[in-house]
Amino acid sequence: MENDEDKDLEASISRKTLIMPKLPSALTVEEKRFLLAVERGDLPNVRRMLQKAHRKKTNLDINCVDSFGRGAMTIAIDQENLEMVELLIIMGVDTKDSLLHAINVEFVEAVELLLEHEELIHKEGELYSWQKVDINTAMFMPDLTPLILAAHRNNYEILKLLLDRGATVPLPHDVKCGCDECIMKSEQDSLRHSLSRLNEYKALASPSLIALSSSDPLLTAFQLSWELRGLAFAEPESKSEYMDLRQQCQQFAVDLLQQTRSSQELAIILNHDPDNPPYQEGEHMKLARLELAIQYKQKKFVAHPNIQQLLAALWYEGVPGFRRKKAKDKIMIIVRVAVLFPFYCMLYMLAPETKIGKLMRKPFMKFLVHASSYLFFLLLLILVSLRADDLLLEHFGSESMKAYVKDKYDKQRGNPPTILEYAVLLYVVGFIFEETQEIFVEGMQSYLRNLWNFIDFTRNVLYSGVIVLRVVSYLQQQAEIEKDPATAYIHREEWDAFDPQLIAEGLFAAANIFSALKLVHLFSINPHLGPLQISLGRMVIDIVKFFFIYTLVLFAFACGLNQLLWYFSDLEKKKCYHLPNGEPDFDGAPDACMKWRRFAK
C-alpha cells in the first residue's frame, strides 16, 4: 500500500512539474575578474579583457551576470561610472534593461547615453532592448516603459530628455472598459492588468510630468484627482494607492499656488478661463478656476491662505475694515442693513448706478440683504401659522372688525388667502424663479451637485402643491356653498379626511420645516458654526446607516421568530389534538396545549 501511494505521489509531482526559468551559469575565474574590474572602475583592464574576448582568446562571456543577476552594465551604472558605461557600449555589451536601471537610480548622463545608443541600434517594427529581456529574470515589469519609470521617480531632467525624443504615456483604459484588449488581458492575468493600470496612473500623477506635458497644469491636476477618486471606489483593492495619488495631485496644485507672489498673479490664476479673454486688472473677478476647484472638491487648494486672503478682501470690499471694527460697530451695520433691506432692494432696482446701488453688488452686502430677506420670510411663516392678522384685528380692531373675524372663524370653508399668505406667495414665486435661473445658468449637472439645492427644490415643490390645493379647495368649496350655504359652517372635525384644504395645510407645515432648515446653510459663514454643520451632517449620515442596519436585523429576527412560532405551533397541534390512532381530539386537549394555542395566536 505504501509503495502504491509513493508511486501516485511521484506521478502527480511529475505531472505538475514547473517550468523553471533559465538561470545563469556559474561564473568562471575570468568572468569574476571582469566584473570585479568593472565594479572598481579599472578601465584599462576592462578594455583589455573585452578585446581578448572579441579576439576569442579567452572564455569570457561579456554578458555574464553575478549571483545577484547584475551584469557589467548594471554594475557600472550603480557605480555611476559614465566612462565605463561608454566603454561597455562601444565594446558591444548588451544593454538589455540598462536604460530602465539608469532611470531607476536617476543616473541622468547614462540615460542620455543609452538613449542615443538605443536610437542607433533600434529598427522599426522590432522590440526595444528592455523589451527583449526574459520576463522571468527581468528586474522590471514588462509594462514599464522608460517614461513611466521616470515619472515614478519624478525626475524632471530624465522626463525632459524622454519627452524631447517623443516618448508618451499611454492613456489607461476606463476601469469599466469592455474592449477586446482589456478582456483578453484580464483573462490572461487580472493582477498584472490591474497593476499595469496603477503604474500608468502613478506616471500620470507625477508633478514633473504634468508640468512638462500639460498646457494647463492646474486643470490637469484637478481632473486627474477627481478621476483617481472614482478609481479608488471602483477598485477597492487598490484604494489606498489611488487615494495617495489623489493627495499627490492635490498637493501639486497647492504647490503651484504657493508660487504666487502678489494679488495680481493670484487673480490671474483664479480667473483663468480658456474660453474667455485673459483677466485684466480692474475687471470683475469671475473666479472661474476657483469654481472649478470647488467642483472637483479640491479642499486643500480652496483652503489655501492665499486664496482665503483674496476671498476675504473681495467679501468685505463694500465694507472695508469690517473685521477690524469693534463688536458694537459690526452689530450696528448688520442691524441697519437688516432693517432697511426693502429700501436697499428698491433703490437697487430703480437706480442701480447710484452709490448705494453699486454698494449692493458687493458680496458682503448681498449676503446681508439676502439673509435679512430670508429671515423676514421665516417671520412671515411664523405669523401665518399663528394667524397674526386675525389676532391683531381681534384684539385691536373695531367692533365690525371683531365681528368679521368671529364670522371668519365660524365660516372656515371657502375663505380667501390673507394678506400675509399673499406675501408668502410672492416669496415662493421669487424662490421658484431663482432656482429656475440657477439651473439655466449653471446647468442641471452643476445644480444637482449641490445638496442644498435638493432642499430648495423640495421646499418649492411643497409650496407649489400648497398653492394648487388651496386654489382647488377654494373653487370646490365655493361651488358647494353656492348649492348649500350651510356647508360654509361645517366644523373642521367633520370635513372629509382628504379635503384639499387639509392636505394643503399639511404640506404647508412640511414646507415650513424645509424653509427653517435652510438657516443651517446661512450659518456656514460663521467659523464656529460652519465646521459644526459638517460634523452634524456626517453624524446624520452615520445615524441613517445605523438605522438601516438596525431595521434589517430587526426584520430578519422577526421573520425568524415568526417561523419558529409556526413550527412549534404545528408540533404542539400534532401532539395535543390528535389521538394515538391519528384522529383529532379537540375536547381532550390538556390545559398546557390550550395555553400554547392562545400564545401562538
Tell me the pLDDT tens digit for each residue of 133-170. Answer: 887 777 888 888 899 999 999 999 999 999 998 888 88
* Separation CA 367–CA 341 (nearest Å): 11
- pLDDT number for residue 24: 65
The domain spans of the chain are 320-385, 390-525, 533-600
* Separation CA 232–CA 149 (nearest Å): 22
* Separation CA 116–CA 134 (nearest Å): 23
Higher pLDDT, 576 or 87: 87
Range of 4-8, 111-115, 186-190, 257-261 with top mean pLDDT:
111-115
- pLDDT number for residue 585: 47
Q: What is the pLDDT of residues 209-226, one digit of tens each?
A: 999 998 889 999 999 999
* Separation CA 348–CA 331 (nearest Å): 23
- pLDDT band at residue 369 under the 50/70/90 scheme: confident
- pLDDT band at residue 4 under the 50/70/90 scheme: low
Tell me the sheet residues that pair with 584: 578
Cell numbers of 340, please? Answer: 432697511
Name residues whose C-beta falls within 8 Å of residue 306's C-beta, 6 or more positions apart in sequence: 257, 258, 260, 266
- pLDDT number for residue 568: 60
Distance of CA 434 to the CA centre of its chain: 27
- pLDDT number for residue 588: 47
- pLDDT number for residue 137: 76
The C-alpha angle 79, 106, 257, rounded to 5 degrees, equals 150
Specify burial of residue 203 (Cβ count, 10 A radius: 0-12, 13-18, 19+): buried
Spatial CA neighbour of 66 closest among 58, 78, 54, 81: 78
Is the confidence at residue 263, as pLDDT, over 60?
yes
- pLDDT number for residue 335: 86
Spatial CA neighbour of 511 closest among 469, 451, 570, 566: 469
The upper half-sphere exposure of residue 395, i.e. CA atoms within 13 Å in the direction of its Cβ, equals 5
The upper half-sphere exposure of residue 202, i.e. CA atoms within 13 Å in the direction of its Cβ, equals 20
Question: Above pLDDT 90, what percent of the chain?
Answer: 23
- pLDDT number for residue 86: 93
Higher pLDDT, 531 or 434: 434
For the CA atoms of 155, 159, 160, 162, the dihedral, rounded to the nearest 10 degrees, stands at 150
- pLDDT number for residue 2: 46
DSSP code, position 171:
P
Contact criterion met (CB below 8 Å) for 497 and 469: no
DSSP code, position 21:
-
- pLDDT number for residue 58: 75
Inter-axis angle of helices 305-315 and 363-385, to 10 degrees? Answer: 70
- pLDDT number for residue 315: 82
Is the confidence at residue 202, as pLDDT, over 80?
yes
pTM, full prediction: 0.72
What's the mean pLDDT in 34-47? 91
- pLDDT band at residue 6 under the 50/70/90 scheme: low
* Separation CA 128–CA 120 (nearest Å): 11
Is the confidence at residue 22, as pLDDT, over 80?
no
Residue type for position 336: R
Is the confidence at residue 586, as pLDDT, over 70?
no
What's the mean pLDDT in 279-298? 85
Taking CA atoms, 282 is separated from 155, 243, 263, 308, 321, in Å, by 40, 40, 12, 19, 20
- pLDDT number for residue 110: 93
Higher pLDDT, 42 or 452: 42
What's the mean pLDDT in 41-50? 91
Inter-axis angle of helices 217-234 and 239-258, to 10 degrees? Answer: 160
The C-alpha angle 305, 311, 315, rounded to 5 degrees, equals 145
Cell numbers of 207, please? Answer: 508633478
Contact criterion met (CB below 8 Å) for 418 and 384: yes
- pLDDT band at residue 83 under the 50/70/90 scheme: very high
- pLDDT number for residue 544: 76
Secondary structure in 3-state letters for 209-261: HHHHHCCCHHHHHHHHHHHHHHHHHHCHHHHHHHHHHHHHHHHHHHHHHHCCC
- pLDDT number for residue 109: 93
Contact criterion met (CB below 8 Å) for 535 and 545: no
The C-alpha angle 358, 364, 367, rounded to 5 degrees, equals 100
- pLDDT band at residue 393 under the 50/70/90 scheme: confident
Cell numbers of 296, please? Answer: 472637483
Q: What is the pLDDT of residues 291-334, one digit of tens each?
A: 899 888 898 999 898 898 888 888 888 777 777 788 888 888 88
- pLDDT number for residue 77: 93
* Separation CA 188–CA 262 (nearest Å): 55
Tell me the sheet residues that pair with 327: none
- pLDDT number for residue 592: 45
What's the mean pLDDT in 454-471? 90
Question: Above pLDDT 70, what percent of the chain?
Answer: 87
* Separation CA 534–CA 142 (nearest Å): 46
